[in-house]
Homo-oligomer: A and B are copies of this chain.
Amino acid sequence: MRNQSIFAGLSLEELRSLGMEVQDISCLQGEVLYRVGDDARYAYTLRSGAVKLVKSLENGQEVIIRLLHRGDLLGFEGMQEAQHRHAAIALAPSELCRLDLAELQRLSERLPKVQEAIRQRWQQALQSSEDHIMELGAKRAEARLATFLLQWVEHYPQLRSLPFPLSRPDLAAFLGLSTEHVSRIMADFKRHAFIQEQRGHLEILAPQSLAGMAGKLPEHKPD
């Protein structure tokens, strides 16, 4: 466990021996890692738990830009910009490694491998954002939610019952819907026995049915 690769194929010890300040951090559900506009001193790797990246519109409405899972990086926009552009909030109790951005900058200039790894992650983030754009731009509510649930599963392989720390408002803020609408669709999925939910845990009973909804054409004759 201790010797797990943290970042760019380097273990925690290797990073430390290269002069990198790495802090183990653990945080509670709801804890704020940083806020919009905070000076970006640190970047993080998420070792366990889940984190949401949130931005607010002028009118105060919150949008979840990205959801992070074990192994994901956050706060790396600080390598280019002085301030964070999202808020990062733990959805569940989480463990992270905190890296000093200035040192990371230095390290990345010396080690091409690190550069490469960062670019790789940036690429992943962009990919996932673009996928999200497609969801929001082209799919209806049911399909968005179905896709989302199926993707959530993939982050918890070989688990029957998945940790599911998202509230209805969280889901709504991520999928671009109202809380009520999300609630209705989830109730629908339960009624059809596609899913089952209890105390922050989710079970996908009929993945193929969800997959059907996820790819469904907007025009579909009612039966």
Residues of A within 8 A of B (CB): 55, 57-59, 61, 63, 65-66, 77, 79-81, 85, 109, 112, 115, 118-120, 122-123, 125-127, 129-130, 132-134, 136-139, 173-176, 215-218
A-B contact pairs, 9 of them (CB 8 A): A57-B139, A58-B217, A63-B133, A63-B134, A63-B138, A65-B130, A80-B119, A80-B123, A119-B122
Give A98 Cβ to nearest chain B Cβ, in Å: 21
3 tightest A-B CB contacts, nearest first: A137-B176, A136-B136, A129-B129
Residues on the B chain within 8 Å of A132, using CB: 133
Beyond A58-B217, A81-B123, 13 additional contacts (C-beta under 8 Å) are: A57-B134, A58-B216, A58-B218, A59-B218, A65-B134, A66-B130, A77-B123, A115-B119, A119-B122, A132-B133, A136-B176, A137-B173, A137-B176
Q: Which of B79, B115, B136, B217 contacts A133 (CB 8 A)?
A: B136
